[in-house]
Structure 1
């Protein structure tokens, strides 16, 4: 016997692997096409046999696991009396002995008879917290399935958790399938548990970050009634600092009715650098870079320096450039308020003016929610200007106010949602009076088709300057149109306005952009776009005005840092119509 066992063991070890069966005979006798697609997608056997050089043990293991996989899909869609058959070489896999050895797979077949689709009979969940919103599908006569049962249970538990019952859970559940009637009875009993109040946040894993600052930034409301939204918000505040690569919370109920939260933190590297480049046929090359320190003094203070050189080799302007720095400190006044201190030194050599500017600013940013952010601050700036009016120096102070709403699903390549940014800046230019400058940037996105393969994107830009002597205002505070940020296909800042007989910028601007974005294959996509820009002499669109437009096609290639963008555009109306072709190459969607 010992010799026979040794021979058998050697035979098993030396047995050749099975060749992959390239096709599984997959039959679904009933249901619809969506059910068939879901079953095929869940099948591990289907996936393994599509691979080359699959070993026999892998094929057998995949076939055995498919019973549970397919059954889970059927239960999710309300089929509680199915019949599943999986065979290899004509033998039912469920009947094979674990000691059976298959050296070659010649055929594989899966046959599923879903049976009748069940509907809910008795559908009860209790007790429920006041205001609990259950899924509409949890009612007698509605299609049954484990998905609706799971969603209903989660909604019931969350209803109690939002009332302070942090340990709410399922107390008991009775699920009965009545096959003759094809009905599923579901009786779910919830156990709310006691009401808890927030205890202490207990950080773990912080090294360079000071514990006191972790508590301050998280802003967990100690002593208040437990609220799961507050837990999520505290975690998000810590993530938003950029100091941590990982933030995980564990809730710890205490016998005294308080609930501590343990924060498992993993700190990110202190420093980060980045680089970017963009090239346009008319405006030349733009190169940029930044250096970032995430945790300067151990309190999540962030210091960032940016530098950019643009219009290198531009046809109609000189080289522009800037250097800027920004120090920010989160949780300065409240857990949701960030203090910012910054400076910027900039040189602009544009078609109608040359300007050198230095500015400093201090401000506060407050995040009301995941979507809504407000800013307020004060700045002072000095500009040395040479334009068609004169050569002059301009001193200016202002009080910028801003409001941003961002509900996009993806800031780099949105398929749904809205983005709105509005600014209002009262200002005073010394010896030349004051006024107000206002801007708005509105964007909307809508995706449709399989996995939002087709996306519509629209953008509306508005701006106006009311007040101030036109001959004394900094020229970069006036509005121009043309170029990648406004109207592609038109020369950079080619559209301005006549002011007192001098060609310069306008006091008002309106621009609109429309894009159709289409996924093609793999990481490639295509874009068709149309842009239009309008500039007027006076504030709020008053006075002499003009407009122009451009259109074109683009190619996109998705990368982890955003799509690589290649656009080709030409003027449609305005100067240069039908004569120029402009090329734009950069990273990220145009808006």
Structure 2
């Protein structure tokens, strides 16, 4: 006996029939239910019961006869699909409602009383491929491992092989590649399946025009500049993904849809249609973080996504920190930044920013101002870079009097980020390296500031309930003497961003003014490690240890301190709420337990 099966038919069967199942939570399950699969192994029985809507209705206590009957009728296709996906092409399925086969009961003549539902599945033999061919195949196509002679003849593998082959041709520029013919023949005598699929790659296409619709405030020429549509280039799905990504990352659009035309245009070109929906242009937000020594930190921002109709992004940030902190005075900052996407290239944006700050520390008070402009460039989804020019001015008041610093800086930044989440990473790496050469004006020294922040995350189990997280930080100022270095270029250790359990910026150096004046150091090292464990889907516990080093001019003769503690995490849609309790472990800056409260993991 021979039986022909089409790929599309297999895909449809595998998908199953969609049935709406209303659940009466307080009802009791119907009596007389049985599900038997003689000859099926434990794994196959589990798979079949998971596919059965009738089994689900029994488990959930459904008693409505119409719902149960609809589930029983749908189970024929669902069970066949599950069996075909496991390579069983000669099953016998019986679903009897009150002793009658459900398929033979008319939908308008269902029983008014439900006494029993009995499902019996005899899977028969498991089929293997006698032949598994697909042709022609593009050079870089990777077919599923299971699609070859001798392997289990899973219908899902057949569908995956056909999909992979079509996508292989599309990746090679053949946008209209398709399955031209398929021959799938089941030989029940020896439980084998002969599978042969023929593809039609179609011609190599190049991108034609991009039509645009849906924009309101955004100018179409700026949409085109941001999208960077590759007109005239060889077709590639990856290039279309880049266009979508560029438009989405602006934050201007709530929806971005790029659709290929059905018909091939003149000269083997392919036009596309871009449909966008714009977000509301304005947005604001706020944040808060609390520490027993640093006090309460409050921050807020106001954002305009599309200031001039060309995607210009204007953002104002305000922050008040140290409210109720141990140093007795709060710090203030107010900043503004204007970004213009698609400057010079679709992946390059220009920025103009300014920042005014007033800080009050244990050792000095500082008022500072910075104005800068530059370019940000996205090299790929993981690697970004930035280069700019900035002017900085600051007035420092300490025990020795007032000191003014002025400098021209060239900030350079490179960031690598392949974490699976920016706020609650379980896998991947993050690295940020900043190099800022600066030229001092008047009495300010000249040199360079270097800082690095490197993080790694590893899940210890498949569900990522247990995660190891590590962080290493490094910093250094090279060139000027300590007294000629702008104070905000120097490094401290202690607090939530470096060493929890130690007071904020408690570790520095005491060399200025004959050793009587404390300041930040010119060298910094920091290390942090965490073991994160999930107690429930929403609640997690963390054990951590941090260490920090501050040196005057090298990485060996300075001072270390450390802290350790435990933390509680409560996951929300915007990231976990973090509560950490830490105490000092070593160093001369210990000062009792510290408590930290914020949003997002510590790193």
Indicate whether the TM-score tops 0.5: yes
Single out whichever of 36-45 and 233-242 deviates more from structure 2. Answer: 36-45
Match of 1:57 among 59, 62, 66: 66
The equivalent of 2:336 in structure 1 is: 325
The equivalent of 1:368 in structure 2 is: 379
Contact kept, 8 Å, 2:29 with 2:62, in 1: the verdict is no
Contact kept, 8 Å, 1:388 with 1:503, in 2: the verdict is no
Shift of 1:40: 3.8
Q: Structure 1 137/470 Cα, relative in aligned 2: closer, same or farther at 3 Å? A: same
Once superposed, which parts of structure 1, at least 4 consecutive aligned residues long, lie more than 6 Å away? none
Is residue 380 of structure 1 aligned with residue 391 of structure 2?
yes
The equivalent of 2:269 in structure 1 is: 258
Contact kept, 8 Å, 1:389 with 1:471, in 2: the verdict is no
Match of 2:231 among 209, 222, 225: 222
Structure 2: gaps spanning 5 or more residues: 1-23
Question: How does 1:106-505 map onto structure 2 within 5 Å?
Answer: 107-252=116-261, 253-256=263-266, 257-316=268-327, 318-387=329-398, 390-430=401-441, 431-500=443-512, 501=515, 502-505=517-520
Shift of 1:64: 2.0
Single out whichever of 100-109 and 494-503 deviates more from structure 2. Answer: 100-109
Compute the TM-score of the two structures, normalised by the length of structure 2: 0.89
Deviations 1:13-36 (A, max 9, x none): xxx999441796544545555544
Q: Distance in 1 between matches of 2:301 and 2:602?
A: 21
Shift of 1:199: 0.7
Q: Distance in 2 between matches of 1:91 and 1:190?
A: 45
Deviations 1:41-80 (A, max 9, x none): 4333344444466532122212222232233233333333
Contact kept, 8 Å, 2:419 with 2:427, in 1: the verdict is yes
Q: Distance in 2 between matches of 1:373 and 1:22?
A: 60
Deviations 1:266-314 (A, max 9, x none): 1111111111111112211111111111111111111111111111111
Shift of 1:322: 0.9
Contact kept, 8 Å, 2:36 with 2:120, in 1: the verdict is yes
The equivalent of 1:545 in structure 2 is: 558
Shift of 1:149: 2.1
Shift of 1:194: 1.1
Shift of 1:155: 2.0
Aligned to 2:483, the other structure's residue is in SS state coil
Aligned to 1:452, the other structure's residue is in SS state coil
Shift of 1:576: 6.2
Compute the TM-score of the two structures, normalised by the length of structure 1: 0.91
Is residue 516 of structure 1 aligned with residue 531 of structure 2?
yes
Match of 1:561 among 570, 574, 577: 574
Is residue 506 of structure 1 aligned with residue 521 of structure 2?
yes
The equivalent of 1:93 in structure 2 is: 102
Q: Structure 1 101/154 Cα, relative in aligned 2: closer, same or farther at 3 Å? A: closer
Q: Structure 1 17/323 Cα, relative in aligned 2: closer, same or farther at 3 Å? A: closer
Q: Distance in 2 between matches of 1:34 and 1:581?
A: 52
Aligned to 1:484, the other structure's residue is in SS state coil
Q: Distance in 2 between matches of 1:549 and 1:155?
A: 53
Contact kept, 8 Å, 2:561 with 2:589, in 1: the verdict is no
Q: Structure 1 353/118 Cα, relative in aligned 2: closer, same or farther at 3 Å? A: farther
Contact kept, 8 Å, 2:406 with 2:444, in 1: the verdict is no
Q: Distance in 2 between matches of 1:371 and 1:585?
A: 30
Structure 1: gaps spanning 5 or more residues: 1-15
Aligned to 1:471, the other structure's residue is in SS state helix
Deviations 1:157-191 (A, max 9, x none): 12211221111111111222333433332211111
Q: Distance in 2 between matches of 1:314 and 1:73?
A: 63
Aligned to 1:489, the other structure's residue is in SS state coil
Contact kept, 8 Å, 2:565 with 2:583, in 1: the verdict is yes
The equivalent of 1:77 in structure 2 is: 86
Single out whichever of 108-117 and 208-217 deviates more from structure 2. Answer: 108-117
Aligned to 2:82, the other structure's residue is in SS state helix
Contact kept, 8 Å, 1:198 with 1:224, in 2: the verdict is yes
Contact kept, 8 Å, 1:388 with 1:504, in 2: the verdict is no
Match of 2:29 among 4, 21, 24: 21
Q: Structure 1 115/381 Cα, relative in aligned 2: closer, same or farther at 3 Å? A: farther
Single out whichever of 275-284 and 68-77 deviates more from structure 2. Answer: 68-77
The equivalent of 1:570 in structure 2 is: 583
Shift of 1:534: 1.7
Shift of 1:82: 3.4
Contact kept, 8 Å, 2:173 with 2:206, in 1: the verdict is yes
Q: Distance in 1 between matches of 2:363 and 2:114?
A: 77
Q: Distance in 1 between matches of 2:596 and 2:45?
A: 45
Contact kept, 8 Å, 1:20 with 1:105, in 2: the verdict is no
Q: Distance in 1 between matches of 2:531 and 2:373?
A: 40
Q: Cα RMSD (Å) of the superposition? A: 2.4
Shift of 1:455: 1.7
The equivalent of 1:9 in structure 2 is: none
Shift of 1:101: 2.8
Is residue 44 of structure 1 aligned with residue 80 of structure 2?
no
The equivalent of 2:10 in structure 1 is: none
Q: Distance in 2 between matches of 1:66 and 1:193?
A: 39
Q: How many residues align?
A: 573
Q: Structure 1 184/381 Cα, relative in aligned 2: closer, same or farther at 3 Å? A: same
Deviations 1:201-220 (A, max 9, x none): 11111111111111111111
Aligned to 1:561, the other structure's residue is in SS state coil
